[in-house]
Structure 1
Amino acid sequence: MSPLALVSARTICHHRRGCNGDTEVARARAMATALVVLLTVAVAAASPAPSTLLLDSTTLAEDVTYEVTATTLIPENDTVVEISTIVADDDIGSASVSQAGQAGQAGDGEWRCPHGCDCAALVEGTSYNCSLPSGVLAFDEYGDGITFKCQSGVFRCAEVPPAASAGRRAGRGALRAALGSVTLRGCELPAEPVTCALTRRGARTTAKLIVQAPRTPLDPVHLRGLENLEMLRITDLEGARSELPLRALGAVPRLRQLTMNEAQLELKTPLPALPLLALELATDALTALPPRAFRALPSLRRLGLWDNALADLPEDTFEEDTLDMNR
């Protein structure tokens, strides 16, 4: 019988206030074994990502915690798991999992939730909630992207948990080197590049960066190393007085789409030469544009200025025959 089945059998007897006689012990063991088979079938039916560590009844151990999900079993932290509730009738009913609070050691090569973090399996990745020296950081990884949610404190690269320690697997949904999307929400950014945190999680660059509710303006150092960035969205500024991060844009020479929404934005000078194809400055409380505001954007094809307070536009703002304008 597998270790989990043994734990289950003991627990069944415990919740039945002991097993009297060989018959009841055998019945408890049979129920526990059926439960392990049920979990193993669920594992076998799954179609996991390559980075997922799959376990069956032959690899379960008493000194590792397993999170039971709809399709897979994932080791978590370093505590022992026990089956705490089993419906004791002729058929296996349901089971719930709780921590027994006993420390243990994960085996070599297994994935482990980082120290100081709570981890949970997502459909295509892993969610982390970490208490770090500089604050609380949550992030979700899903292979092609990552979302950082700064719940308090400063977003410091050195405190981001590394993707995997030497000799251990990365978590479910481990990042690719080149990402499709990175989101930073509510983060106070120190003077260090975003790529530093990506490197800690096993990635190098991204094609799309979304900065939501930023607590600091973007500087060139933040975008350093993102030479392949094509889309930058700065949103949820909640009407804060803001400026376009023009100096920072010099660090992303391949940028094609720029969005800045929900700010109190004031344009005093024309935009410098940029390779933008699309520019969206919507819901930014704009009341006026400077002369020749967008004439240095020869590749610009789409301009979004809706939900502003513009009474009129200077005649030389742009060349209309090259632009699809949304006001």
Structure 2
Amino acid sequence: MAPNVTVEEEITQKSLDLQKLALTKGNYLVFPEKKYPEIEVFEHENRGKRGDPKKASLFDNASKVFDLTPHIGTEIHGLQLSQLTEQQKDDLALLVAERGVLVFRDQDINVDEGLDFARSFGPLHIHATFGHPPGYPEIHTVYFDTKLVHFLDGWHSDVSYEKQPAGVTLLKMDIVPEVGGDTLWHSGYAAYDRLSKPLQKFLEGLKAVHSGQDQLDEATRFGRTIRRQHVEQAHPIVRVHPVTGWKSLYVQPVFTRRIEGLRKHESDAILKLLYEHINGGYDFTVRVKWETNTVVVWDNTVTSHNAIFDYLDVGTRHGWRATSQAEAPYFDPNGKSKAEADAEAKN
């Protein structure tokens, strides 16, 4: 049974086809009045620690594997995410920790399988304010067409204002416009590496406050239920991934608000610099062009993403996302930059 549903709902949900629902009903989201307790702190064990450094279970069974850019993004053909073994999921967790973004084409995975897949990497996140498909509070739906022009714009890592923000995330796109609607991801590893050494050292150990207040305010304006009240959290500006041990820049303009311990004008100036660094990071960004039934799996802890809304006057784009939560972000002074790790590996 899908999580958080009644027995009566189960019959409907077993055959729930979100693509068909979007084609026949358009924006089908529901906004129940149900509230949830605050998310409890949990111990997260990243399954990438069990991964095979060679990722043989993935690479040996794929028909084609190729990197999309030098620093972020790998595309894998010939595998169905709905049929991965536990070893393959371990190897996938390691690979996505290293490459940030994985692209899979022609995927048959359905909503319930997608939830199971995401759940295998950590507890599923339920958004505090967003609508969702009937009976599926863990599913975040992407739906925009020529009549719906409200959207979240800008670079962001999902729900970074939670105490333990998003980790491995799956997004399947099943309706795409004829042209446009691509998504950008950037590498937090390479974003850190591109900073000067003095600036890297200055940022290490500092924390920035991430806030979801805008989303709560939006829900209030539309008269929708706020399911949880937690709204902001301070996280390290430079975090270290528990599997790779690499340092990653962890700020973005949608949710990051201020740097703790600095005067406002100092915080504003440094964040402005970092946002300009991210916006201009063409050399550490990958652009994914969606096709029907393309799935992207990414690691929200070391990437940010930005959907391109260039299609709102020409077509419809629909998909659904399942999001696992990961560890609380932390900084480890023993961590290395990816560039340092790569250099050591060559020696």
Structure (1 or 2) with the greater helix fraction: 2
Report if TM-score (shorter chain) is over 0.5: no
Pick 1 or 2: higher relative contact order, CA cutoff 8 A, min separation 6.
2
Structure (1 or 2) with the greater strand fraction: 1
TM-score (norm 2): 0.23
TM-score (norm 1): 0.24
Q: Greater Rg, structure 1 or structure 2?
A: 1
